[in-house]
Amino acid sequence: MIDRPESEPTPLDDAARAGWLYYVAGLTQDQIARELGTSRQRAQRLVSRAISERLIHVRLEHRVSGCLHLEAALTRRFGLKLARVAPSIGADVDPLPSIAPTAAAEVERVLRSERPMVVAFGTGRSLRATVEEMTSMVCEQHKIVSLNGNISADGSASYYDVIFRIADRVRAPHYPMPMPVIAQDAAERELFHALKPVQSVLRLARNADVTFVGLGQMGADAPLLKDGFITAAELEEMQQLGAAGEVAGWVFDSDGRYLETSINQRVAGVRVEISSDRTAVAIAGGKPKLAALRAGLKGRLFNGLITDELTAQALLS
Q: Give the mean pLDDT of the chain.
A: 88
In the predicted structure, residue 240 carries a pLDDT above the cut 80: yes
In the predicted structure, residue 9 carries a pLDDT above the cut 70: no
Q: Residue 308: enclosing H or E segment and its boundaries?
A: strand 304-308
Name which residue leads in pLDDT, 120 or 21: 120
Q: Are residues 139 and 171 in contact, defined by beta-carbon separation less than 8 angstroms?
A: yes
pLDDT bracket for residue 156 (50, 70, 90):
confident
* DSSP type of residue 166: H
pLDDT of residue 61: 56
**CA distance linking residue 141 with residue 131, whole number of Å:** 19
Which residues, at least 6 apart from 33, have a Cβ–Cβ distance to it below 8 Å? 39, 40, 42, 43
Question: What percentage of the chain reaches a pLDDT higher than 70?
Answer: 93
Q: What is the arithmetic mean of pLDDT over 152-165? A: 78
pTM for the model stands at 0.82
Name which residue leads in pLDDT, 9 or 65: 65
Q: What is the arithmetic mean of pLDDT over 257-280? A: 91
State the amino acid at position 290 in one-letter form. L
Q: 110: closest CA among 230, 239, 255, 212?
A: 212
* Residues written for the chain: 317
In the predicted structure, residue 56 carries a pLDDT above the cut 50: yes
Write down all domains in the chain, each with its CATH number in brackets.
11-53 (1.10.10), 65-316 (3.40.50.1360)
Least confident of 49-53, 88-92, 154-158, 176-180: 154-158
52-91 exposure pattern, b = at least 16 Cβ within 10 A, e = fewer: eeebbeeeeeeeeeebeebbebbbeebebebbbbbbbeee
* DSSP type of residue 133: T
Which residues, at least 6 apart from 46, have a Cβ–Cβ distance to it below 8 Å? 14, 15, 17, 18, 19, 32, 36, 38
Quick one: how far is CA 31 from the chain centroid?
A: 38
**CA distance linking residue 224 with residue 208, whole number of Å:** 24
- Coil, strand or helix: which one is 204? helix
Which residues, at least 6 apart from 108, have a Cβ–Cβ distance to it below 8 Å? 134, 135, 137
pLDDT of residue 11: 65
